[in-house]
Amino acid sequence: MLDEFLQEPRVAYFSMEIALRSEIPTYAGGLGVLAGDTLRSAADLSLPLVGITLVSRAGYFRQELDAEGRQLEHPALWDPARWAAPLDAKVAVWIEDRAVWVGAWLYVIESDLGGRAPVILLDTDFAENAPADREITHYLYGDDDRYRLMQEMVLGLGGVRVLRALGFEISAYHMNEGHSALLGLELLQRFTYPASQLRSGESPYDVPRVRQLCRFTTHTPVEAGHDRFSYELVERLFRHGDSAGSSAVRFDLAELQQLAGREQLNMTQLALSLSDFVNGVAKRHAEVSARMYPGYQVRAITNGVHPYTWTAPSFRALYDRHVAGWAHEPELLIRARGIPDGEIHAAHLKAKQALIEHVRELTGVALSADAPIIGFARRMTAYKRPELLFTDPGRLEAIARQRPFQILLAGKAHPHDEEGKRLIALLHRQARALAGKVPAAYLPDYDLAQAQLLVSGSDIWLNTPLPPLEASGTSGMKAAFNGVPSISVLDGWWVEGCIENVTGWSIDGAGSLYDKLEHTVLPLFYGEPSGWGRVMKGTITTNAAYFNSHRMMRRYATEAYLR
């Protein structure tokens, strides 16, 4: 079963979250969706990757909203046996003073173009393990620092060992964000200089050798966003009894501080120290990251989204008719310029009707297919500023009296993000207050399937992050595959993707958002259909053709993997 994937060396793609499919809730947001799109493109392009992540049996969480818009979190249990095959390798990772056994499942991504990509799901839920250790791989981003560090030990240390035990030959290790940076420590243990060659005080570790093997993609443009752990905690978890044997990772504190920071173990710092290729996920983000880490070269590989996954069925059929081969080579979408406007509008209407139906089932709110839908859905957290649209509800209503529009909102807040939860409740109230004037709804339990409906069925995709905090953002790219233009703050990918009036519109705050809606966007929508059709095609020919994960993976392959 695994043999077909062991025939050639592979790039090991490590990610704390990977969005494999809607039924497998092992992702929290953009990072996991990107990881899924990365591996889906690898399968399409027959690139030799192997994904590796935690099985997260209790998922992230299922979101329910009560009548006041308070977020209730329920475990999102899933059964790995239903979707993945158990593998027989089991390795020990030494944590505190005990061995934690780590096993693995194989999930296979099957490309619609015929390729296949393996994903290894790490699991500690075995009878051999203490009850608490069985839950290390249960909750995605769960609980406290100790739990998080144990998870990252299982991912980084356990992941490298499991790949080896399974017989994978790994040509490079790619860390998708810093959570997996402990893999570098595991590799350092493997590559040491013999004691006889060392002068006293010299490091036994062959750091250059490990750097040659590692690649690191950073996703966080603020220092505070990086995972860090106190060395007191690190020493406690890495401590081992004398009988620990070879499975323990022994590390000299001074050595570790050199690689990962003096005060605390900073996972980003560790990943930077141990990678010879580092990139940010958009041009602007790479610049911000380079300023944050003087002395490191931070390249830019702008994110993309998976073409087939993020294209609505009606647009897939349309592209199949007019742009044969688009799903393998989305650059061809530049040819969508020749598709008759009427067919574009008809494909969009189908996607919009599917969304309207979903909204009606979920919330009872009846939306109209005639008025434009403004969509806003993403992780709910302060820097995304979801409240910006409601800065002046009076103005919003006045604009809607002239030219009606509708609003759809969705997204989860991390269970510990009180501000994010407050924002959800606020949006929920705002949507209610607009009833009868501006149809609006907050959809519960945002996931891959709902995202597909929203990015294709909305007419205008809104994004309002506080610069420079949006490293890339990807939902606007998904919208582009469905001819849906963005109205967005210039940050992340939109710095590269916005051509005013061609692919959408730029804004810098609530004032310009209202102005553009009132004077540019809504008049264009209600004006000549050919005007709106021109912008729809602009998003497809200019942005879908470029901001896709095939282009992104061709760049990782040539610039990062084949070094």
Ligand X SMILES: *Cc1c(COP(=O)(O)O)cnc(C)c1O
Interface residues with ligand X (CB under 6 A) are 29-30, 33, 378-379, 446-448, 451, 473-475, 478
Of 273 and 279, nearer to ligand X (C-beta) is: 279
CB of 349 to ligand X, least distance (A): 23
Indicate the DSSP class of residue 205.
B
Of 161 and 550, nearer to ligand X (C-beta) is: 550
CB of 488 to ligand X, least distance (A): 9
Of 33 and 58, nearer to ligand X (C-beta) is: 33
CB of 247 to ligand X, least distance (A): 37
Of 379 and 414, nearer to ligand X (C-beta) is: 379
Q: Give helix 341-363 / helix 313-322 axis angle, nearest 10°.
A: 170
Of 266 and 475, nearer to ligand X (C-beta) is: 475
CB of 37 to ligand X, least distance (A): 9
Of 92 and 479, nearer to ligand X (C-beta) is: 479
Closest CA to 480 of 300, 285, 304, 340: 304
Q: How far apart are CA 367 and CA 352, in angstroms?
A: 10
Omega within 30 of 0 (cis) for the link into 307: no
Of 475 and 542, nearer to ligand X (C-beta) is: 475
CB of 252 to ligand X, least distance (A): 40
CB of 415 to ligand X, least distance (A): 16
CB of 394 to ligand X, least distance (A): 28
According to the 3-state scheme, what is the secondary structure of 444-496? CCCCHHHHHHHHHHCCEEEECCCCCCCCCCCHHHHHHCCCCCEEEECCCCHHH
Of 316 and 478, nearer to ligand X (C-beta) is: 478
Q: How far apart are CA 363 and CA 450, in angstroms?
A: 13
Of 266 and 452, nearer to ligand X (C-beta) is: 452
Indicate the DSSP class of residue 171.
E
CB of 38 to ligand X, least distance (A): 13
Indicate the DSSP class of residue 333.
G
Answer yes or no: are the C-beta atoms of 371 and 405 closer than 8 Å: yes
Token pair of 479 as six digits: 């919208």
CB of 476 to ligand X, least distance (A): 6
Of 444 and 473, nearer to ligand X (C-beta) is: 473
Q: How far apart are CA 186 and CA 175, in angstroms?
A: 14
Token pair of 150 as six digits: 């144990």
Q: How far apart are CA 91 and CA 414, in angstroms?
A: 31
Answer yes or no: are the C-beta atoms of 271 and 175 closer than 8 Å: yes
Of 60 and 514, nearer to ligand X (C-beta) is: 60
Of 124 and 176, nearer to ligand X (C-beta) is: 176
Of 179 and 378, nearer to ligand X (C-beta) is: 378
Q: Which residues of 79-101 are buried (b: 16+ CB within 10 A; e: fewer)?
A: ebeeebeebebebbbbbeeebbb
CB of 341 to ligand X, least distance (A): 28
Q: How far apart are CA 401 and CA 55, in angstroms?
A: 50
List residues bridging with 11 in a β-sheet.
49, 172
CB of 451 to ligand X, least distance (A): 3
* Cα angle, residue 555 at apex, residues 462 and 477 outer, rounded to 5°: 15
Q: How far apart are CA 480 and CA 482, in angstroms?
A: 5
CB of 446 to ligand X, least distance (A): 5
Q: Where are the alpha helices (DSSP H) in 280-433?
A: 283-292, 313-322, 341-363, 393-402, 418-433
Answer yes or no: are the C-beta atoms of 432 and 159 closer than 8 Å: no
Question: Exposed/middle/buried for 266, CB within 10 Å: 0-12, 13-18, 19+?
Answer: buried
Strands 228-230, 214-217: pairing kind:
unpaired
* Cα angle, residue 17 at apex, residues 11 and 19 outer, rounded to 5°: 90
CB of 361 to ligand X, least distance (A): 19
Q: How far apart are CA 284 and CA 279, in angstroms?
A: 11
CB of 17 to ligand X, least distance (A): 10
Of 25 and 538, nearer to ligand X (C-beta) is: 25
The phi and psi torsions of 127 (rounded to 5 degrees) equal -60, -30
Q: How far apart are CA 123 and CA 86, in angstroms?
A: 10
